Amino acid sequence: MRFSSILCVIPFLVLAIAVDSSFLMIHEWQRVLKIQAENPKILRVDFRMAEVLSEVGPSIFISTLTNVFSDAVGVFSSSPEMGLLCIGNLFAMIIAFFYQMTFYAGIMSIVGRYEIYLEKKRQNKLKLEDIEDKDQVK
């Protein structure tokens, strides 16, 4: 595969699509947080990630699949530069999908654990303040 200046566009294309997928995952994460606020007994990261990936994973997969298929069709373009762009974009989209489902989901899990830690810490602090207020009333 040779280098061409058209290949410099690929990172921006993949970045735009990956940001959209990341937005979908974060939006679903926030929706799951609202559900967990109503039922704090299920305050677990594995539950959150399972919900996020089960709701958003198929749409990200279908989006990636359509992009890969459209790039596969573009490979057979009469313009060699366009074919080169489509080949590069095809492989970049596949790599970005696996990156999104593994690394990004893992980072979201780590951040989710930290969120749960902060929430429990805040709840304990509120409980202590309630106890101190009750002592002052007596």
Identify the pLDDT of residue 44: 83
Phi–psi pair at 77, nearest 5 degrees = -65, 155
Identify the pLDDT of residue 33: 87
Per-residue tokens: 119: 């929430």
Identify the pLDDT of residue 97: 95
Identify the pLDDT of residue 132: 64
**The model's pTM:** 0.80
Q: Give the whole-angstrom CA distance, residue 130 versus residue 124.
A: 10
Identify the pLDDT of residue 35: 84
Tell the residue number behind the tokens 């921006």, with chain if given: 12
Identify the pLDDT of residue 43: 73
In the chain (138 residues long), the average pLDDT of successive 10-residue segments reads 84 90 94 83 83 94 95 92 92 94 94 88 75 60
Identify the pLDDT of residue 128: 66
Q: Give the whole-angstrom CA distance, residue 89 versus residue 79.
A: 15
